[in-house]
Amino acid sequence: MATKKRSNFSGNAGTTNNSAYSLIPWLGLAAIVILLDQVSKITIARLFHYAETYSVTSFFNLILMYNKGAAFSFLAAESGWQRYLFTAIGLIAAAYITFLLKRHSSQKLFCTALALIMGGALGNVLDRLMYGHVIDFLDFHYKEIYHFAAFNLADSAISLGVALFILDELRRVKK
């Protein structure tokens, strides 16, 4: 995990203001992810009926799907308790990520990764709170033989954030 750089200066002058300002770019990035995610989901939900498909290329469709579970519809068939579990996990993760962003705000790659993960998690939390499920609409496939699980921009941001987090950790280990 990231380590905090310590200053050689003693004293607390300006600590509160600097930490508040240092969070702004990272929370801003997370907010942009949430905004793009929600706008894309609202657009698809208004233009498509459930399970309606629009072929964009030979390997990519737009489709309106609902996911009551987690990644790859994990626990989607359960009675509904999973909605609250995944909402709680997303909110707890966002709180912990905010703590990490505040603590490590000068580490750009690490914080970019965390902000993407937080934005994606909160985008899906909003879906669970508003609709009781997550709206998925990106459908990649191979010759109609194999379809990857439908996903959304929030899922993409989480995946990109995880990839950047791994890259940051690998770079840190090499130092």
Amino acid, single-letter form, for residue 52: E
Catalytic hit among 37, 136, 139, 168: 136
Give CA–CA dist 157/6, Å, rounded. 30
- In the residue annotation, 127 being an active-site residue is answered as no
Give CA–CA dist 11/1, Å, rounded. 26
Give CA–CA dist 59/159, Å, rounded. 20
Are 34 and 122 in contact by the 8 Å Cβ rule? The answer is: yes
Are 117 and 157 in contact by the 8 Å Cβ rule? The answer is: yes
- In the residue annotation, 155 being an active-site residue is answered as yes
Catalytic hit among 37, 139, 155, 168: 155
Catalytic residues: 136, 155
